[in-house]
Structure 1
Amino acid sequence: MSYQALYRVWRPQSFQDVVGQEHVTRTLQNALLQNKISHAYLFSGPRGTGKTSAAKILAKAVNCENGPSKEPCNECSSCLGIMDGSIQDVIEIDAASNNGVEEIRDIRDKVKYAPSSVSFKVYIIDEVHMLSTGAFNALLKTLEEPPQHVIFILATTEPHKIPATVISRCQRFDFKRITIDHIVDRMKFILESSEWRYDSLALPIIARAAEGGLRDALSLLDQAISFSDDQLSVDDALSVTGSVSQELFETLTKEVMNQNTSAVLELLEQLLENGKDPVRFIEDYLLFMRDLLLYQAAPDVDDVYKTIVVSERFKEIASDISSDIIYEIIHILNQAQQDMKWTNHPRVYTEVALIKLCQLKKELRLEEQIDLQDLVSQITQLKRELDLIKQNGVKVADNQQSQGPQTQSASRRAPRAKNTLHIPTGRIVDVLKNATKSDIQKLKGSWGELIEQLGKQQKRSQAALLADAEPVAASPNTFVLKFKYEIHCKMAMDNPEFTPAIQTILQSLTGSNYEPIGVPEEEWLSIREDFIRRQREEGNEVEDDEEVQEQSQLDGEAKKIFDEKIISIKE
């Protein structure tokens, strides 16, 4: 074939041609000038960012007859031989098809032989993460201490799959995605060098579709040139990449703001008939709304936009649409993008998303009206309660003036008595008398799920009260619920919805209708100790609860480990 693809013709032949990886090329150039070449390198990063090209340039630079210099001369016999592949001392290996132990053993056996025509024998292993575990192990020793005339350069797009033992033996360089500006500048250089006419607005479209890979960008550029007639236009770039123009997004946003559903669906129909991908359309529209939001927040920042050129029409749209609507549009588009990953009908989700966007302003207005009505009703209710409080306050004051000092003191004591927590000691003692291990184990085993279900049922306040509470004793139909703090116990037991909610969930989890009896921790310890003491005085055997059993197990384990003579157990 006489024709070669652009990315092959314009493959970088020197470090200065490697686009957007200055942090890598500068380090390698300084190492060449200072004669500090390592025995092994690891180049990692996304596809099409220059890993293999940088490896070949480094191979030329270390073997250049006019070196040491920070760039290969590309004129000597060594550089020319490496470029055309006639020198056998620079070996490129595809690890995807040579991933076995035997291939690595073959490399290990051949590295000891000196290079035949250049100074260094260079092994470039591409997609090295494809090697098997045995192959990596076979490579370890050779990679750590190769002969002085051997350099290993490993390239990969997935460095997390490489064993740490391999990475630690290499100098690692992480190649990053190339920015849109760098890709556009490189394409301009190629087009001008090839004397091909182009529209400057078409290049950013191709650069965005490449997603940070220069090789992908040059492949798309090659395809767009073939598609065009005598000049690369914006329409050519849009057709090849499947992207949508900014003007169409601006028109679409205008129709969405006007709630013109039929016009929006007609625009979508035209796009799909022209071969646009629904998934790509949603992604591009999402980025357009992102740029619109960024322009509203920081109009002076120009280098953060991904899809737009700031035009007068764009400024007009940005001033007409509110940021709240943009937030909702981004949320709807993002949800549609997620749903489209798992469907065979992406067009349906695209149409549904656009219809939602057209109805968005109606929903927001309805929500505002509902919120306003709710606010008015709350204010009215608060006003009624305030009037009621004022009336009751006047009546209480009149009653206190007409009553004697004893009645007034009694009325002052009444609120304090109302706030006192009542502890049902008798019922707790009954639970202790009838307590069983199976019931308490069943409750504790379901306790975490109980709290989780309360949270799912929007009863977060009740779930929060149970965060520091736990069941400590249980009979077949009742259990004692110990709270760490008295205030939490009172809040739970005074709440009329608390006990029914607990009983309902426990019924579904355990099959038993357990009724909780709340008690603060201090009172529980006192009641429990008094119960155990009375039972022992009456000569009854008392079955320790779970806490006592755990302590007994710990005491037994301590006696097994240490001499009983040196152990002193204190309650």
Structure 2
Amino acid sequence: MAYQALYRVWRPQKFSDMVGQEIITKTLKNAIITGQTSHAYLFTGPRGTGKTSAAKIFAKALNCLNLQDGEPCNECINCQAINNGSLNDVIEIDAASNNGVEEIRDIRDKVKYAPTQAPFKVYIIDEVHMLSTGAFNALLKTLEEPPTQVVFILATTEPHKIPLTIISRTQRFDFRRIGTTGSITRMEYILEQKGYQYEAPALKVIANAAEGGMRDALSILDQTLSFGDDQVTLANALLVTGAVKQSLLNEYVTAVLAEDVPTSLQVLESILQEGKDAHRFIEDLISYIRDLLLANQAPDMVTVTPDEVFVTLSKQVTPDYAYNVINVLNDVQQQLRFTTHPDVYLEVLTVKLASLNLQTDTLVVPASTKTKPQVDKPNISTAVAAKIEQPSDEAAITANKQHVSAAKTADSQPLVAPPIEAARNIPISSGPIAPVAKNTLTGKVAFDGQSVFDILHVATKAALRAIEDNYADLLNMLSVVEMAKLNQAKPVAASPNGIVLAFNQPYIHRLAQQDETLQNNILQNLNRLTGETPMVVLITDDQWNQLRNSYVNQYKEKIAFTDMTVPQLSELAVETQPPVDKPVSMAVEIPSEPVKIDEPELITQAKALFGDIVTIENN
């Protein structure tokens, strides 16, 4: 006889042979024993969980001549005929290829005839959700009131596609995924019966790869036996399933916990060079982190082999850290579904994981930001804090702690009365008026602190909102690789002529700083979206905090903008960046000293510009 696949040879022939469906098998057996069988059943569940097998066993039990405690004997004429597929009273129909109205009408016409050989005529309709609407309507009346000796068994993996009128006329049984333990036990039994040698960890790998399907598990086992000359070893199982070796996962997680980005990327590269699938790598890594989490909480639930490296890592990983890592992995897993460059996402993921701090369970913050001054303390002007933390588009006229509040004007454009030339330096518009020539900051990408100061000096909330609204469109206009890089940055400040983008990963910032194509595409796409080409400053989060806090402190001390000192950027900046105090390319024209106007004159000029809408507030 020709060779048959394991899942066909070892298909369950009795209810007791089924794995992981104890509740369903017990219910069906009791119904047969007590004679309380229904006229229609609906078996639903994932593939390979035993729906069709249970339907055939139930058909045998209904027609068995030597029933034994609800189980078919598999020896009588009817049982053997059903096993051979020669019993005319048990009809198995594939709805995927017989889904028309005519096929169902044929069933409706034949169902009224009595069984010829067995006590019951059983119709098993597999993948019933594939029937057309007309076919379901044709089946409805027959399904509701079939002849006494007829039983319908409908099987499907997608019950939501079946009309509710059909479901309500059946007894529904939901088959669940088979657990890892059940799959391993069944495979051990089969291998022992066949006399094959096997390694227990290999069966665990196969069971995990099957994802709860017994048929899939036996198919993978069959492949492994063929690959390993009738031996099931861990190495062969890993190769057949494409799973990542535990030793590589040990190396990867060890490097990530040590915040060693180069080593982490090297291990990732070796994993990908072995041909491992990116989705499978993420799944294995999630399972590995889950085992590290459970190693101290519930050791019996750990699925990997707890070697020395694993035990050491489990003592280092805190629950909060494991939660954060799993959340990050889950996000990347969703993103991988829509990309053709999974390697890039895995590299970005590796850099991000290596930046998770074990102690704080948050992204690592360099030391320079841990002692940064708080800009929301009471001793700092509210107007100043609002201007820097979230650039405001509300006018703030400050003189001896008195503020003039004016109505907002369109797009934060300065409103200047032509006769009053000195008013150009008074911040009384809906956005701060800066002594900067229009469009002098446009059309380039910068990386220096002076550029950030120039943007902060004229920043408005409206400008920041505008770039935030267009940022998603900007990302979508880039290539996949460029999108992966810029996705690690966000707008933190903006003016009518400039934008500041802060990267949460210094490594990604370094790549963006060296990628001239990305920089040009950013400028071109911003022009398409907004009609303008603003200057774009690329910095890291650490550098942004450093520059912002310096600007706040100097503003609080009432230091003129032209006299402000720009701090040196942190060492996270790329070494190739030209060290300059004030870039030559910055076309900023700032008067040496703004015009000083005492309080009464200030208020007088404000009223001249805005009229009766001006109100005086003393804060």
TM-score range with shorter-chain normalisation? 0.5 to 0.7
Counterpart position of 2:146: 146
TM-score with structure 2 setting the length: 0.59
Q: Specify which structure has the bigger relative contact order, considering alpha-carbon pairs within 8 angstroms and separated by 6 or more residues.
A: 2
Find 2:300's aligned residue among 299, 302, 314.
302
Counterpart position of 1:321: 317
1:335-484 map, 5 Å: 335-361=331-357, 366-367=364-365, 369=367, 372-374=370-372, 377=374
For the residues of structure 1 that align with 2:95 and 2:363, how far apart are their CA atoms? Answer: 60
Counterpart position of 2:214: 214
Higher alpha-carbon deviation: 14-23 or 274-283? 274-283
Counterpart position of 2:9: 9
For the residues of structure 1 that align with 2:251 and 2:209, how far apart are their CA atoms? Answer: 22
Question: Does structure 2 conserve the Cα–Cα contact (< 8 Å) formed by 1:32 and 1:68?
Answer: no
1:152-301 map, 5 Å: 152-296=152-296, 298=297, 300-301=298-299
Q: Which amino acid counterpart does residue 344 of structure 2 have in structure 1?
A: V
Counterpart position of 2:327: 331
Alpha-carbon offset, residue 256 of structure 1? 1.5
Output one character per residue of 1:255-274: Cα deviation in whole Å (capped at 9) or x when no partner: 11223333323322322232
Alpha-carbon offset, residue 18 of structure 1? 0.8
Residue 355 and residue 378 in structure 1: after superposition, are their counterparts in 2 closer, same or farther (change >3 A)? closer
Work out whether 1:136 is the aligned partner of 2:136. Answer: yes
Residue 68 and residue 138 in structure 1: after superposition, are their counterparts in 2 closer, same or farther (change >3 A)? farther
Question: Does structure 1 conserve the Cα–Cα contact (< 8 Å) formed by 2:355 and 2:364?
Answer: no
Alpha-carbon offset, residue 36 of structure 1? 1.0
Q: Which amino acid counterpart does residue 159 of structure 1 have in structure 2?
A: P
For the residues of structure 1 that align with 2:321 and 2:299, how far apart are their CA atoms? Answer: 22
Residue 34 and residue 353 in structure 1: after superposition, are their counterparts in 2 closer, same or farther (change >3 A)? same
Question: Does structure 2 conserve the Cα–Cα contact (< 8 Å) formed by 1:209 and 1:217?
Answer: yes
Work out whether 1:50 is the aligned partner of 2:50. Answer: yes
Question: Does structure 1 conserve the Cα–Cα contact (< 8 Å) formed by 2:248 and 2:271?
Answer: no
Output one character per residue of 1:258-302: Cα deviation in whole Å (capped at 9) or x when no partner: 233333233223222322111111121122112222334x2x352
Output one character per residue of 1:384-415: Cα deviation in whole Å (capped at 9) or x when no partner: 99xxxxxxxxxxxxxxxxxxxxxxxxxxxxxx
Q: Which amino acid counterpart does residue 202 of structure 1 have in structure 2?
A: A
For the residues of structure 2 that align with 1:43 and 1:329, how far apart are their CA atoms? Answer: 38
Residue 123 and residue 346 in structure 1: after superposition, are their counterparts in 2 closer, same or farther (change >3 A)? same
- Paired residues in the alignment total 390
Q: Give 1 or 2 for the bigger CA radius of gyration.
A: 1
Counterpart position of 2:19: 19
Counterpart position of 2:92: 92
Output one character per residue of 1:196-254: Cα deviation in whole Å (capped at 9) or x when no partner: 00001100100011111100111011001111135211011100111112222112111
Counterpart position of 2:472: none
Q: Which amino acid counterpart does residue 314 of structure 1 have in structure 2?
A: F
Residue 366 and residue 47 in structure 1: after superposition, are their counterparts in 2 closer, same or farther (change >3 A)? closer
Q: Which amino acid counterpart does residue 373 of structure 1 have in structure 2?
A: T
% identical equivalent positions: 55
For the residues of structure 1 that align with 2:195 and 2:613, how far apart are their CA atoms? Answer: 86
Structure 1 unpaired stretches of 5+: 386-449, 458-512, 518-571
Question: Does structure 2 conserve the Cα–Cα contact (< 8 Å) formed by 1:33 and 1:68?
Answer: no
Counterpart position of 1:496: none
Residue 316 and residue 516 in structure 1: after superposition, are their counterparts in 2 closer, same or farther (change >3 A)? farther
> Pairwise CA RMSD of aligned residues?
3.0
Question: Does structure 2 conserve the Cα–Cα contact (< 8 Å) formed by 1:61 and 1:69?
Answer: no
For the residues of structure 2 that align with 1:118 and 1:111, how far apart are their CA atoms? Answer: 14
Higher alpha-carbon deviation: 346-355 or 37-46? 346-355
For the residues of structure 2 that align with 1:173 and 1:365, how far apart are their CA atoms? Answer: 47
Counterpart position of 2:427: none
Larger helix proportion of the pair: 1
What is the SS of the residue equivalent to 1:106?
Answer: helix
For the residues of structure 2 that align with 1:177 and 1:22, how far apart are their CA atoms? Answer: 12
1:18-37 map, 5 Å: 18-37=18-37
Structure 2 unpaired stretches of 5+: 382-461, 470-609, 615-619
Q: Which amino acid counterpart does residue 307 of structure 2 have in structure 1?
A: S
Question: Does structure 1 conserve the Cα–Cα contact (< 8 Å) formed by 2:293 and 2:317?
Answer: no
Output one character per residue of 1:177-208: Cα deviation in whole Å (capped at 9) or x when no partner: 11000001000001111100000110010001
For the residues of structure 2 that align with 1:11 and 1:80, how far apart are their CA atoms? Answer: 15
Alpha-carbon offset, residue 382 of structure 1? 6.4
What is the SS of the residue equivalent to 1:93?
Answer: strand
Residue 371 and residue 25 in structure 1: after superposition, are their counterparts in 2 closer, same or farther (change >3 A)? farther
Counterpart position of 1:467: none
Output one character per residue of 1:504-546: Cα deviation in whole Å (capped at 9) or x when no partner: xxxxxxxxx9x999xxxxxxxxxxxxxxxxxxxxxxxxxxxxx
Q: Which amino acid counterpart does residue 175 of structure 2 have in structure 1?
A: F
Counterpart position of 2:126: 126
